[in-house]
Amino acid sequence: MASYVQTSQAETLAPPTERYTLLGWVYKHLLSPWYNLVLTLVGGLLLYAIFKPALTWAFTGARWAVIPANLNLLMRGQYPAEEAWRLWAVIFLLALAGGYNWGVWSKTVGPALITAFAIPWLLMLVPWFSWGTRLNLLIVEAVGLVGYALGRITPKQRSQWAVYAFLAYLLAMLLLLRGLQEGHPTLPMVPTRLWGGLLLSLLLAFFGIVFSFPLGVLLALGRTAERMPAIQTISVLYIEFIRGVPLISLLFMSQVMLQLFLPEDFPQIDHMLRALAAITLFSAAYTAENVRGGLQSIPKGQYEAAASVGLNGYQTMRLIILPQALRAVIPVLVGQFIGLFKDTSLVALVGLFDLLGIARVILANPDWLGTQREVYVFIAFLYWIFSYLMSYSSRRVEEALGVGKF
């Protein structure tokens, strides 16, 4: 005989939420129990000890004048002032292509989008910028919006246009940066030895990533291709060799040694290209290992299912394995690319004038003796901004793709 029978259904309740007053929060998280209080005190003292002198220096002692006086140099090196409009054009096009891609791929308006559109406005607040710069930033904002709107109205079946837009952007960017030929009326050539500062750092990182990524994926596939021992051996040798030497030695080899090995009448290869080649070859080996990790995480059943419906090896890789493997390694790859961006500062040691190289030039100028701290803090800040942007956007992309969700 039943001793209990349900008579009415339990009602649905909202989950309990924790609510604090400000003081309550402070008490719960910072002051109790007693060891939390101790930690809070020690932490507070440490912060004070570190930040007091730093802030005192930043607001009273520092000669920040060195930054605005050399801002152009820091931003674009020796790139001629009368051609600077071309750099702005590159940025406008970037905003256009970037906005367009965003509009095509993501139809939701979220915090990431708002952040992206807030960036030009924030930059306008930088006191060292001229009104011309601010106007240009306004144009960036407007062009970005136009691109975004165009992306939104692009029908879903035409998403591949976003990719074409990006490729077109790459070409336009190279054309604008380098120009046509010496003395051309509208687009005179600007040789790469004049490219410098933040411009050079970003370009090295950008093209380093764009070129090393496909190379790295190919190497990863090569290393896992058990049916092709020759290709596998070459991939393993390459990856292990590169991972065994520091980037700086590759840079020295490309800048100094390469020309010694080439025949005497061989034309000088562009210094920036050589540095870029070293960076690309270096990064590709690490990309390969990261991608290989992703490939190994794909269960055997996926290969079998692909084979059982008749896909060939190439189709299996392209449609089934790589999309899953790459998605799985986005976080690691972004971490690696942030490292690559910061590693581009090594080119300063082989005579290129990237952000760090320009900093050293400024510091060698007798007018700015003793401003090491100001200059290095400033360029560290620039590195931080861009690294943080990369990491922030990667997290947004991960969310959009649902990484780790299935």
Name the minimum Å distance from CB 312 to other proteins.
Answer: 6
Residues that bind other proteins (CB under 8 A): 299, 301-302, 304-312, 315, 319-320, 323-324, 327, 405-406
Complex with other proteins: residue 188 or 331, whichever CB lies closer: 331
Complex with other proteins: residue 261 or 406, whichever CB lies closer: 406
Length reported for the chain: 406
25 vs 281: CA distance, rounded Å: 51
Name the minimum Å distance from CB 165 to other proteins.
Answer: 23
Complex with other proteins: residue 320 or 359, whichever CB lies closer: 320
173 vs 102: CA distance, rounded Å: 19
CA distances from 373 to 196, 197, 246, 361 (A): 21, 18, 28, 14
Name the minimum Å distance from CB 325 to other proteins.
Answer: 10
Place of tokens 């690309």: 280
CA distances from 20 to 23, 26, 36, 70, 185 (A): 8, 9, 18, 49, 67
Name the minimum Å distance from CB 303 to other proteins.
Answer: 9
Q: 354 has which bridge partners?
A: 197
Torsion, Cα 320 321 325 327, to 10 degrees, reads -20
Name the minimum Å distance from CB 311 to other proteins.
Answer: 6
Complex with other proteins: residue 240 or 399, whichever CB lies closer: 399
- Give buried/exposed letters for 378-403 (b at 16+ CB in 10 A, else e): bbeebbeebbeebeeebebbbeeeeb
406 vs 399: CA distance, rounded Å: 12
Name the minimum Å distance from CB 341 to other proteins.
Answer: 29
* Per-residue tokens: 268: 């000088």
Complex with other proteins: residue 320 or 340, whichever CB lies closer: 320
One-character DSSP codes across 212-259: HHHHHHHHHHHHH-TT-HHHHHHHHHHHHHHHHS-HHHHHHIIIIIHH
Name the minimum Å distance from CB 39 to other proteins.
Answer: 41
Residue 354 backbone dihedrals phi, psi, to 5 degrees: -80, -170
Complex with other proteins: residue 363 or 403, whichever CB lies closer: 403
Complex with other proteins: residue 250 or 321, whichever CB lies closer: 321
